[in-house]
Amino acid sequence: MIDTWHSYSGNIHIHTRFSDGEKLHDAIAQDAIAAGLDFIIVTDHNVYVTGVEGYYRNERGRVLLLTGEEVHNVRRRPQASHFLAYNARKELASYASDPQSLIDETVKAGGLGFLAHPYEEDLPLMGEINLGWHDWDIEGFSGLEIWNYMSSFKNVIARHTTDLRWKNKLIAKLGALRIALHPERYLNGPEPETLALWDDFLSKGMRVNAIGSSDAHGTPMQLGPWRREIFPYEFLFRAVNTHVLLSRPFNGDVEHDRLLLMQAIGRGNCWVGYDMAGPTKDFRFTVQGAAKGIMGDEMPFGFGATLQIRAPVRCRIRVIRHGQVVTEVERESNLTYIPDEPGAYRVECLIPYEGRERGWIYSNPIYLR
């Protein structure tokens, strides 16, 4: 198969010193280049930072840096329902108190809006209530952040320490420290609750695009006398990323490349890859037949429509329709499937990593109508 697609990797949920992150844009861009990313979108809390977009370069390469915003209502208790706005190119924090107008204003401005870390566990160890999405009377959002690395890390700690919370807080804290030292041994994939939510939307016929990201802050972690920058930006840029597939390459012009990138994310021509377990850049999910397309595309059902998956290495590959696995293979790098009914077909790949099979690739669906 001749592959004419252009694959780009990026991280699109990042905080700088303009909110609660540790570094500024230039230093974060350098970390992104070091991690081999092609684009990053910084999303500070309730502030749209201007004057920093563009290509950042060094002797190792370049990265496109764009600005979005993570908006939430600071007067809400808990301060949940975080909204990621991309490409609205204006301040949106003033709409934070009403999630629907926040979505509407984002879309009206030509932007895309995603629900950040939609499912989270309460974290009694730290006295925190979960910051998932709580305000479900909404419509018109672009999609879900199906995998947020830092949120997954918090959830792992919550699940490991909940039983201990009344017995021995010190044991619980040491357990959390062990997880923080080796998060790769504990993270298995997106929260099953988030995937179920996504499948539920898809089974209702909705178009809901998936993205995945780091939520990098670069914050030092303090646990008693022990203090270190536990999740540096560069580390996180090698973990959960959003990968887009473009029919035309970036040409180095910021406006040109912004348009291509935003169209791809808006159409779902992208997948979420856990690149720490293995690079996912060469993943492909296409539909062949009378009409041809890729993940995120909508095609007529029938006419010999055949789904084709190519994984970067042999792994477990699943095709999922509305929450049901319709076909699955083990230790294969290719899978072909001819659907027998219309619907939204998405792909998951799992790979052995750190002694266990882990979630690796989560593709947006191909919609057969």
The residues that touch Zn ion, with contacts defined as CB under 5 A, are 70, 82, 116, 215
Q: C-alpha angle with apex 62: 56 to 67, nearest 5 degrees? A: 45
Min dist. Cβ of residue 213 to Zn ion (A): 8
The answer to whether residues 270 and 242 touch, using CB atoms and an 8 Å cutoff, is yes
Select 24 or 291, whichever has its Cβ closest to Zn ion.
24
Select 215 or 275, whichever has its Cβ closest to Zn ion.
215
The answer to whether residues 291 and 299 touch, using CB atoms and an 8 Å cutoff, is yes
Min dist. Cβ of residue 72 to Zn ion (A): 7
Give the residue from 360, 342, 361, 364 showing the smallest Cα distance to 352: 360
Select 70 or 191, whichever has its Cβ closest to Zn ion.
70
Amino acid at 8: Y
Min dist. Cβ of residue 206 to Zn ion (A): 23
Select 41 or 172, whichever has its Cβ closest to Zn ion.
41
Min dist. Cβ of residue 28 to Zn ion (A): 14
Min dist. Cβ of residue 296 to Zn ion (A): 24
108 burial (CB, 10 Å; 0-12 / 13-18 / 19+) is exposed
Amino acid at 132: G
Give the residue from 70, 10, 74 showing the smallest Cα distance to 40: 10
Select 46 or 363, whichever has its Cβ closest to Zn ion.
46
Select 66 or 366, whichever has its Cβ closest to Zn ion.
66
- Chain residue at closest Cβ approach to Zn ion: 82
Min dist. Cβ of residue 236 to Zn ion (A): 12
The answer to whether residues 314 and 351 touch, using CB atoms and an 8 Å cutoff, is no
Q: Is 217 helix (H, G, I), strand (E, B) or coil?
A: coil
Q: How far apart are CA 196 and CA 191, in angstroms?
A: 9
